[in-house]
Structure 1
């Protein structure tokens, strides 16, 4: 963990690191592609929905992470595509500033690979996550090739490969979920999407999934209402036919006057 001093603990000759209002929170550089943006959203949003009843976590996406004054000065580290911090306050942040979070950094990081970032993600960034930030779990995913790699810090603070489970997915001990590849349609694009799953194999739903599910349930409910209405109308029509037939039979069997 990174040591942290409060403002009144700095010696008089020491210049404290910049606060959030002094740090850049945007660089104008978008994620690599639409696929990357959607993949990041498909990882962050379902996780927030899954933990919506909790107040002790934070999920960030395409957001700066500052872990040292020198790094902040150089501004040469953009931060992860997706990251999770546990045992923290759930609130909005412009960026994650380690020295303003009691020395707390991300517990889990996911980088979405591309030809222009893969060497950095597997090299320099991996070293930062392993040695400087000590991120407990680090996952790398190529959203076009559908390849997932995962690393977990061992007792000596060195990354070791995370093995696949029998399900073919990769377990995250940090969030108690599994990461797996889902070949399906998201935002009109069929692709191998990286998704969160429970240990029982249930996929965490996205906003799009929940909307589609609600629409399906509404359509089913409307169909049930229509079926019930049709059944009532049919029953009423049968009742009217029966009454009409009974009236005709009664007329035929009634004694004629004057007979």
Structure 2
């Protein structure tokens, strides 16, 4: 339903070089090891972003979108609690299939192209500092955003010459994702996607409701026309 965005991401390291020498690679079927989400707001926001993108790109089979899922990029990582997986991330140019976690060395060395972190009291410092540094220097993720579901703080960054530069907001406060070819912005206190034309990307339920309203409006229009014809002494069924 959308043209594939141009991948401007820097070249990635060889998967075999990701793990330090002498340390065996972990098996591909690693389970995600993420802690429970802090609030319903965080869980609902992650689910919304995943569902929206999967619905928008329902005809595409060349991406992976998930959230609150561990990204394994080094065998040393399991020994540290300093880093957790992104709240929401998208990888382009990969097979669209279910995964138990994202294991970089089993995915041709691919890291997320887009990451969204949801700020909370316990994660905000890491999301603005340590994680941002990891996404910039190790992942080299082109588009990084953070959003606070409670305060509605929203920021975005694009990787330029190896360093993140802030993405300037539009007049509506939206920020452009070059990788997705979409805007991200706040709508009814939720982080949502918007098309290049400025249209809200609808969920399956919103799409169904919009179609229902359109059909109802058409029905009412036809009924008014039929009533007008009857006022003029014309049988609408005879036309």
With structure 2 as the length reference, what TM-score do the two structures score? 0.81
Aligned length: 221
Measured in 1, the distance between the counterparts of 2:143 and 2:109 equals 18
Which of 170, 182, 185 pairs up with 1:180?
185
Partner of 1:189: none
Question: 1:123 Cα deviation (Å)?
Answer: 1.2
Change (3 A) 1:18 1:145: same
User: What is the RMSD computed on CA atoms of the aligned residues?
Assistant: 2.8
Change (3 A) 1:224 1:121: same
Q: Map of 1:73-112 to 2, 5 A cutoff?
A: 73-74=79-80, 76-112=82-118
Q: Which has the higher contact order (CA 8 A, sep 6+)?
A: 2
Which stretch has the larger CA shift, 157-166 or 73-82? 73-82
Q: Partner of 1:20: helix, strand, or coil?
A: coil
Contact 2:31–2:100 (Cα < 8 Å) also in 1 = no
Partner of 1:168: 173
Question: 1:147 Cα deviation (Å)?
Answer: 1.7
Change (3 A) 1:218 1:67: same
Which of 31, 36, 39 pairs up with 1:24?
31
With structure 1 as the length reference, what TM-score do the two structures score? 0.75
Partner of 2:5: none
Question: 1:103 Cα deviation (Å)?
Answer: 0.6
Measured in 2, the distance between the counterparts of 1:48 and 1:25 equals 20
1:174-212 Cα deviation digits (max 9, x unpaired): 111111111x3xxxxxxx111100121101001231232
Contact 1:20–1:94 (Cα < 8 Å) also in 2 = no
Measured in 2, the distance between the counterparts of 1:74 and 1:151 equals 26
Runs of at least 5 residues in structure 2 that lack an aligned partner in the other structure: 1-11
Change (3 A) 1:222 1:30: farther
1:13-41 Cα deviation digits (max 9, x unpaired): 944211133x33244x3222111111112
Change (3 A) 1:200 1:138: same
Q: Which has the higher helix share?
A: 1
Measured in 1, the distance between the counterparts of 2:159 and 2:129 equals 16
Partner of 1:257: none
Q: Map of 1:4-19 to 2, 5 A cutoff?
A: 4-5=15-16, 14-19=22-27
Q: Partner of 1:5: helix, strand, or coil?
A: helix
Measured in 1, the distance between the counterparts of 2:63 and 2:72 equals 18
**Pairing 1:210–2:207 present:** yes
Question: 1:224 Cα deviation (Å)?
Answer: 6.9
Question: 1:220 Cα deviation (Å)?
Answer: 4.5
